[in-house]
Amino acid sequence: MKVLRRDGSIYEGSFEEKEVREAFWHTSAHVLAQAVKRLYPDTKCAIGPAISNGFYYDFDFGVPFSEEQLKDVEKEMGKIIGEALPLEVCERERQEAAAFMAERKEPYKVELILALPEGETVSFYRQGDYEESCAGPHIDNTCRIGAFRLLSLAGAYWRGDEKNKMLTRIYGVSFPEASGLAQYLHMLEEAKKRDHRKLGKELGLFTIMEEGPGFPFFLPKGLALKNLLIGYWRKLHEREGYQEIATPMMLDRRLWEISGHWEHYRDKMYTTAIDNREFAIKPMNCPGGMLVYKMEPRSYKELPLRLGELGVVHRHEQLHGLMRVRCLTQDDAHIFMTEGQVVEEIQKVVRLIGQVYSRFGFSYHVELSTRPEDSIGTQEEWELATGALERAIREMGIPYMVNEGDGAFYGPKLDFHLKDSIGRTWQCGTIQLDFQLPRRFEASYVGADGEKHRPIMIHRTVFGSIERFMGILIEHYAGRFPVWLSPVQVMVLPVSEKSLAYAGEVTEKLKSQNIRAELDQREEKLGYKIREAQLLKVPYMLVLGEKEQEKQTLSVRARDAEEGKQDLGEMALPDFVQMVERKETGFFGYKAL
């Protein structure tokens, strides 16, 4: 597929490439705008970018616009695509560009153009009777859009400012082939079924209350799941030579000024005053880790020093269940090292992240995020850090994409985007290389030459945050967690009160073997109890009646078919315990580490 860049050059690539995909969706947004202008000529166009999954366009219709009207817009878009309109690009001087859009009565475009520096040129893309100011790039012809769908409407303030006018945002998605659209729509349906907020409530995992927006309450089963992830994390990091620390949740404002967070992250921080001193509730763990490093003189013989922390941090974020919370447990680690250790340490973290994701059945891709506009440090330091990350990942033979300008304010990073069971990607793990904080905090170590040197620092996470990773796992497994990860592994179901005592004995014996078992002793019919256990997605149900009590056996039902069947028949308790333990070790199991 051909991509037309702002300078008029053509790049040819596949839809799987980020630049091509974004250009494809950007052009689809322009087709949407062209269709709207044909049907509703008085409408004012605002912005229409490509996003992570498709595109949107913001319009000022001036009159009510409803979802029923989307069908008419889709029909007009189909006509535009069928016209096979080639895209052309040209440039105009800033004032000429503003006058051009003003003549077409597009005030939002004029505002954007006039916000550019004096003397700036503005690129315009034209397709048939439609032309607008746009940085591009775009695909070369509207006919490349093989299938599309307008998905929804939403309100959006102009420039995201609630003081501005509310616009109508139309979301859509498009693909070169009809099969791509069909697959995507299937994924959306699956995503609705797997919504972690819905399943979290049904499975009794967590809740978020009005009294604490963005601050999750973990219920017993949810806390069991969270603790399993934490236990796994601790075992892995102990094996990999990390020392776990815990730093305070609230620290003096001056610390955050030194680190740079006060200047670059202040709008997301919570603050308070105590004894006439201003404190910040930590949004990050790194300044606390830096203070721990500086507590005593360090020698090169101690490096690399790997400090891990399951730190609870608070950030004022937009909210979405567990995916976007304001209180989260970040599985942080900070590695202090010499320059000669940098590449090897990066590679060790890459391998650790890969091992964790494979345990859960995730594949992943890597993006190298480079220096943002809002950053600290010299260009030379950024080039050194970026080069080290590139070298480390290249030597491992792992492909990566470059995400320009998306690094942390203190350094470039490798971001790990995992793919779940229905094809969605989530950015979780990260490796950030930092020359700045050690300098700002005047951290040092004594080298082999007896002189003081500045350590280099890695910030890294594997899960990203425990809460968000839980949300991803709930949707990845649709709540049907593997045996090792299930908050309740076995539900014990007595047939009647006569077998209740035996069922209680079995439950206690299972617990003594570290199997998470629950006894359903409600006075309900057996069929009802089985259905309830199935709704809770418990991996195993043990049906215990007088026959099982007499023979001291278990009637075992599996949630998932094993050896082609769900009813596994009668089994002795030791054999059942051994089967569950095999499941734990085979998929995950601390024994397998």
Active site residues per annotation = 286, 315, 330, 332, 334, 413, 459
**Angstrom distance (rounded) from CA 284 to CA 281:** 9
Token pair listed for 184 = 């995507």
Q: Which class for 401: exposed (0-12), middle (13-18), buried (19 or more C-beta within 10 A)?
A: middle
Give the torsion sign (CA, 240, 244, 250, 254).
Answer: negative
d(CA 298, CA 187): 52
Q: Which phi-psi region, left, alpha or beta, contains residue 381 (left: φ > 0; alpha: ψ -120 to 50)?
A: alpha
Strand order in the sheet with 87-93: 87-93, 121-127, 130-133
d(CA 150, CA 71): 8
Question: Beta-carbon neighbour count of residue 52 at 10 Å?
Answer: 10
Reduced to 3 states (helix: H, G, I; strand: E, B; else coil), residue 411 is: strand
Residue 402 CA to residue 57 CA, distance in Å, equals 26
Cα separations (Å) of 391 from 76, 183, 344, 429? 49, 36, 10, 19
Contacts of residue 154, defined as CB under 8 A and 6 or more positions apart, other chains included, come to 168, 169, 171
- The SS3 call for residue 333 is strand
* CA–CA dist 201, 219 (Å, integer): 10
Q: How many CB atoms lie within 10 A of CB 157?
A: 14
Q: Please state, in angstroms and rounded to a whole number, the distance separating the CA atoms of residues 481 and 536.
A: 11
CA distance 338 to 454: 8
CA dist 533 and 224 (Å) reads 17
- Length of the chain, please? 593
CA distance 101 to 99: 6
Angle 472-228-469 from CA coordinates, rounded to 5°: 15
Decide: residue 457, CB within 10 A, 0-12 exposed, 13-18 middle, 19+ buried: buried
